[in-house]
Amino acid sequence: MDVRFSREGNSLVVMMEGEIDHHTASRVRERIDNKFLMEPVKNLILDLSRVTFMDSAGIGLILGRMNRVSLIGGKMIIRRPKPEIQRILRMSRIEELIELDA
């Protein structure tokens, strides 16, 4: 799992690449949180277009980041998940909580 960061106005964009499971999630979580704290941004965009696998550890990762973003009144957006990733997002009903940018 590789993450790259960029800025879009008031948002931090995290381009995630590879597979999200418990092993990889615990490694990228801290990097995302640190970057989000350092940048003068309010919102977080997780770009999942290059994520090829995700299990419930990904759900935990997304919900954990959403809680942090909402603490400062920001918004979280999930961008372009592949169909197989959309399936687990739907199942977890995360889409009811987080804006999906297909």
Which spans of this chain sit near other proteins (rule: CB under 8 A)?
Answer: 19, 21-23, 25-26, 29, 53, 55-57, 59-61, 63-64, 84, 87-88, 91-92
Cβ closest to other proteins, residue 8 vs residue 37: 37
Cβ closest to other proteins, residue 19 vs residue 39: 19
DSSP letter string, the chain:
-EEEEEEETTEEEEEEEEEESHHHHHHHHHHHHHHHHHSS-SEEEEEEEEEEEE-HHHHHHHHHHHHHHHHTT--EEEE---HHHHHHHHHTTGGGTSEEE-
Cβ closest to other proteins, residue 25 vs residue 41: 25
